[in-house]
Amino acid sequence: MAAGARVLVVDDEPDIRQTVKDILEDEGYVVDLAESAAAAREARRRQRPDVVLLDIWMPDLDGISLLREWSERGGLPCPVIMISGHGTVETAVEATRLGAWDFIEKPISLAKLLLVVGHALEAGRLKRENEGLRRQLPAPTELVGSGKALQALRAQVEKIAGHDTGVLVQGEPGTGKETLARALHERSARRAGPFVTVAAGAIAREHAALALFGAEDANGVQHGLVEQANGGTLFLDEVADLDPELQLRLSSVIERRALIRCGGHEAAVIDARVIAATAHDLEALVAAGRFREELYYQLKVVPLTMPPLRERGDDIPELLRYYADYFANRDTLPYRNFPVAVQNRLRHYAWPGNLRELRNLVQRLLVLGSASDVGLDEVELALGSASPTSTAASMSAAGTPRVDFTLPLREAREQFERAYLLHQLNEAGGSVGKLAKAVGMERTHLYRKLKDLDIDPRQGGDGAR
């Protein structure tokens, strides 16, 4: 049972409403009551329920008609369980067609009530967890690795998971910031609730407010991603990509724990933990006026850093085994061993693409190889180098700039990213689509990164500005 899950009970009989409320509250549920269809609409508008118990026979509008109304105006808000004292087969068929989850007959059985509500909650949780999420290779829900850096990070996670404070996860692209956020979620009291990802850079700007905060009008309510995270965790992936207006609205939501949907006039309660992630220096963006200071401090109650893979050499053997096993099971590929010589080579590789690059490398080696052991020559070919030279040296040989190690970290990182993307753009023949696949980035993020680094893909790799 999901502690604190919200159940809306809609029934015109006061005794039944109160009896069901008492039973569910004894089990730890939060219960809202509505005596009519109009009251049910208002209760749903105020806050999204996790389950609705809906009586079929009511004086103003029957439950089937209300179910049809919800179904035809943006879909049901959550699993709906019908309550009936004298339903017919035709009524049951119609309710099922409209999406009703189950039926409970009057007089209500305590055992069946708790069983059906529990099953409906689980089904709703699974559905909500997938709403609005971008399609991607599922990240592990555990932090893989036994090195000192990961041990220290795990200790931090265990310490703060039980608190509901905001967390800001910082780290280079591809380091596994979402995995860290999921680890926090799985160890928290909200683990049974949804984990909703907001990929800020992947949402079209003209639809961003609607996608995040939802909408309402005379025809009904559309719940946005923020509201879908109620009872669970809202993960803001690359929060620096939010435009100023969205930053302001998000700051208000976090401060007030409530939001006003687009087109709405009254606030809806929000109960979600916020975990944000970024590869940018938010403090510098605040100083430059490109990120709201109040939002920065709201998010950075507890800062965590996901270390780059080049600093996690001791974790490489374990990560290789993990992803080899993962792809063997998911894609029905033959499992392949990584001998000590291969592990040693990869332990000393720079991993500019971090975990994302390692994951793609393992998948490629399992797809293209046939022998039970991965060969060193295969690895060199997959890495795109004939000899174990450093990434920076390889780029210089290809005609792209060498990184100046005398620069401050931020400038050196930008120089390296520009050199890396120029090299990969050349390899992709100037195709941004191929470049996105090669470096493991979504096109929206990639276009912004190229713009930030003053690289014009239309000019081709060699002609980039």
Q: Of 290, 305, 320, at which residue does a domain stop?
A: 305
The verdict on residue 241 lying in a domain is yes
Number of structural domains (the chain) is 4
Indicate whether 108 and 168 sit together in one domain.
no
Indicate whether 377 and 283 sit together in one domain.
no
Alpha helix ranges (H) inside 173-315: 177-186, 208-213, 225-228, 244-256, 282-287, 293-299
Indicate whether 114 and 24 sit together in one domain.
yes
Percent of the chain clearing pLDDT 90 (strictly above): 46
Residue positions counted in the chain = 465
Q: What is the pLDDT of residue 132?
A: 41
> Would you say residue 464 has pLDDT above 50?
no
CATH of the domain at 182: 3.40.50.300
The verdict on residue 143 lying in a domain is no
Indicate whether 154 and 46 sit together in one domain.
no
The verdict on residue 375 lying in a domain is yes
The verdict on residue 287 lying in a domain is yes
Q: Of 257, 275, 305, at which residue does a domain stop?
A: 305
Alpha-carbon span 84 to 82, nearest angstrom: 6
> Would you say residue 34 has pLDDT above 90?
yes
Residue holding tokens 């991993």?
351
> Would you say residue 156 has pLDDT above 70?
yes
CATH of the domain at 415: 1.10.10.60
Over residues 309-316, the mean pLDDT reads: 94
> Would you say residue 369 has pLDDT above 90?
no
- CA-nearest of 117, 121, 101 to 23 is 117
Indicate whether 68 and 214 sit together in one domain.
no
Q: Residue 326 sits in which domain range?
A: 309-388
Indicate whether 324 and 217 sit together in one domain.
no
> Would you say residue 385 has pLDDT above 60?
no
Structure tokens at 127: 């559905």
Indicate whether 184 and 254 sit together in one domain.
yes
Indicate whether 155 and 188 sit together in one domain.
yes
> Would you say residue 39 has pLDDT above 70?
yes
Comparing 354 with 1, the larger pLDDT belongs to 354
Q: Of 270, 305, 340, at which residue does a domain stop?
A: 305
Indicate whether 240 and 170 sit together in one domain.
yes
What is the chain's mean pLDDT, rounded? 83
Q: Are strands 302-305 and 268-269 parallel, antiparallel or unpaired?
A: unpaired
Indicate whether 411 and 423 sit together in one domain.
yes
